[in-house]
Every structure is written in structure tokens, then in C-alpha cells.
Amino acid sequence: MRAVVVERYGPPEVARVREVPTPTPRAGEVLVRVMAAPVASGDARLRSGRFPKGFALPARLAIGIRGPRNSILGTAFSGEVVALGEGVRGFAVGDRVSGMTGMRMGAHAEFVVATPAKLVATPASVTHDAAAAVLFGGATALDYLRDKARLTAGSTVLVNGASGAVGTSAVQLARHFGAEVTGMTSAANADLVRRLGAGRVIDYRETSPDELRASGERFDVVFDTVGNVSPASGRPLLTDGGVLLLAVAGLGDTLAARGPVKAGPASESHEIIESVLALTADGVLDPLIESSHPLDQIADAYRRVDSGRKVGNIIVRPTERA
């Protein structure tokens, strides 16, 4: 099969399309033909070897010293079941499915091995592109807002980085849960963030999170998806009983996160994946696809992700040729 292989950490050009053996599903596993997969900020971290402060050594020990041991990246996908390992129940060849692969990765390829614990039927009204696009940011935003912050109707929420994969889902979900949403983004994305549900938009080039705090602004939930808010700078932005969500935190802040400060990897549970797709089918989550690419354009896709400016999501379609 054709797959994007990353042998050494580095710039977008280290991601190369290669012919590799098609994986075989073992007992309890499902082989899926990948129709679409996101090229996410998480993939860019793994490709480049750039991890949040303090994570460089533990991450490289866990993932690979000079390059990712699992050299085919891609942690979310949408596609069709092509083979079932022994003992798999509940799926049949030809089923439209979507899922996540965690640190096994492997979705930037024509075929990926999935586990039923993280594989769900794709709702009929959700396209492969939409399912693939929404999962990375949608699962993170749902886990952080619903499960970590226990967001309730009427709360005030600040989403810092409101136009990215996590931010666009966070704005839409927070609004869906009945919160009053303030989005921080650049002026170019203000209209989009408003359309997604933010009642108020702040241009971060004019007002930083620190300046917001200094001006006395307080929120029930502050969700940082950029990495320029720390526990020390974020806590004063909270109302009494407020919650600070740090999707991007260094090792020290992640280990120290307790009480109102939540950090760490987001859940990829079956329920979260299923809920994100159901919310997409219901029209609550618009997956916002900035661009889609055949595998051969993977370096272009990564260049845009690396820019830090992408709006929503970028996907690859492994069955498409350039």
C-alpha cells in the first residue's frame, strides 16, 4: 500500500510517500481502507519532534529517539472496513467507519489497522471528509469542555485559539452546551468565529490574555489551545469555582495540574468518538475543512499546519492521486 513514512524528525519534507506492506489485522482488530485522515497539529508535533516544554526527552523515549518508531503517522481516520481479525463482532466488510488510533497512529496510509474500542459506524449523513476532519479537534474539545470542565448552560467561556481544529470545535460545543462564548483569534477569522457561536471576539493582536486579566475580565471556563496561558497567568482570569483548561501545557504544568487546572492528553474513548460524530450528524459541529490533499501533497499540508495559521482542519485522501 502507499503510506506517508516519517523516518526522522524534521521539516515537512521528511514526510515521504512510500510503498509499504499492507498491514494484516490480528485477532480483535479491523483493517480499514482510509478514505480521509486529518493532518493535525498533533501529527506535526510527532513529525517535527517539537514537543511542549519538558516533554522532549520523555516523548522521544516513548515515541522514538531520532524519529517516530511507528513511522506512519495519522491518529484519526474515516473509511471502509476491508477485513476483520478473528473474533471481531459488530462490524462487517464494507461498513463505513471512523476512528482514532492513539499512539499506534498509521492513518496516513491507504489502509490502517483499528481496534473496535476506538472504531464507530459513521452516521450516514456524515461524509468521510467531515468525519476525518472533525475527530481530532472535536474529541479534544468535547473531552475538555464536557468531561474535564463539566460545562453548564449559562457559563462564560473564553476559547483562546478559536479558529484552530480544537478551537473551532470548542466554540461550537460551548455554544451548544448553552455557554456564552468569547473567542480569541485574529481579525481575519473574527467573522468565522462569530458564525460558529462566539457572542464576542477578541483580536489577540490587540489584546493578549494577560491584558484581559489586567482589565479585570473573568470567565467560568478558560480554554487555552495556543499555549500562551499558564496556570499562573490563567487562574486569575477565572471566576470563583472557574476551570482552566490547558490543551497545550509543558511537563511541569501538566504534572502540577490539579483542582481547577486541567491538562494532559484528551480522551479518545468509543463514547467520545461516537458523540463527536453524532454531534456532526446533528449539525452541531461543522467540521470546517480548509483543504484536502492526495497523499503526494503531504508536505504542502504539513507546511500549512506548521504555519500555525490553518483554519479548522486539513485532510489527506489516500485513495486520491495527484
Ligand X SMILES: NC(=O)c1ccc[n+]([C@@H]2O[C@H](COP(=O)([O-])OP(=O)(O)OC[C@H]3O[C@@H](n4cnc5c(N)ncnc54)[C@H](OP(=O)(O)O)[C@@H]3O)[C@@H](O)[C@H]2O)c1
Closer of 182 and 297 to ligand X (Cβ): 182
Q: In the bound complex, what is the minimum distance in angstroms from residue 133's beta carbon to ligand X?
A: 11
Closer of 111 and 136 to ligand X (Cβ): 136
Q: What residue spans of the chain are helical by DSSP H? A: 41-48, 56-63, 128-142, 165-176, 190-196, 209-214, 231-234, 251-256, 270-281, 298-307
Q: In the bound complex, what is the minimum distance in angstroms from residue 262's beta carbon to ligand X?
A: 10
Smallest Cα–Cα separation from 313: which of 294, 287, 295?
A: 287
In the complex, which residues of this chain contact ligand X (CB under 6 A)? 40-42, 45, 137, 140, 160-161, 163-167, 184-186, 188-189, 204, 225-228, 247-248, 265-266, 305, 308-311
Q: In the bound complex, what is the minimum distance in angstroms from residue 86's beta carbon to ligand X?
A: 32
Q: In the bound complex, what is the minimum distance in angstroms from residue 306's beta carbon to ligand X?
A: 9
Closer of 81 and 277 to ligand X (Cβ): 277
Query: In angstroms, rounded to a whole number, what is the distance separating the alpha carbons of residues 8 and 15?
Result: 9
- Helix, coil or strand: residue 108: coil
113 Cβ contact list (under 8 Å, min separation 6): 23, 24, 25, 26, 29, 30, 31, 32, 101, 104, 106
The three cell numbers locating residue 218? 473573568
Query: In angstroms, rounded to a whole number, what is the distance separating the alpha carbons of residues 131 and 127?
Result: 6
Give ∠ CA 198-292-122 in degrees, rounded to 5. Answer: 75
Closer of 140 and 292 to ligand X (Cβ): 140
Closer of 33 and 310 to ligand X (Cβ): 310
Supply φ then ψ for residue 221, to 5 degrees: -135, 130
Q: In the bound complex, what is the minimum distance in angstroms from residue 228's beta carbon to ligand X?
A: 6
The three cell numbers locating residue 128? 468521510
DSSP single-letter state for residue 109: B
CB environment 16-25: b (16+ within 10 A), e (fewer) = ebeebebbeb
Query: In angstroms, rounded to a whole number, what is the distance separating the alpha carbons of residues 298 and 296?
Result: 6
Closer of 51 and 91 to ligand X (Cβ): 51
Closer of 97 and 201 to ligand X (Cβ): 201
Q: In the bound complex, what is the minimum distance in angstroms from residue 73's beta carbon to ligand X?
A: 13
Closer of 196 and 277 to ligand X (Cβ): 196
Q: Give the nearest residue (CB) to ligand X.
A: 164
90 Cβ contact list (under 8 Å, min separation 6): 116
Task: Evaluate whether 85 touches 93 at the Cβ level (below 8 Å).
Answer: no
Q: Please give the span between the terminal C-alpha atoms of the chain, in angstroms, as a whole number.
A: 16
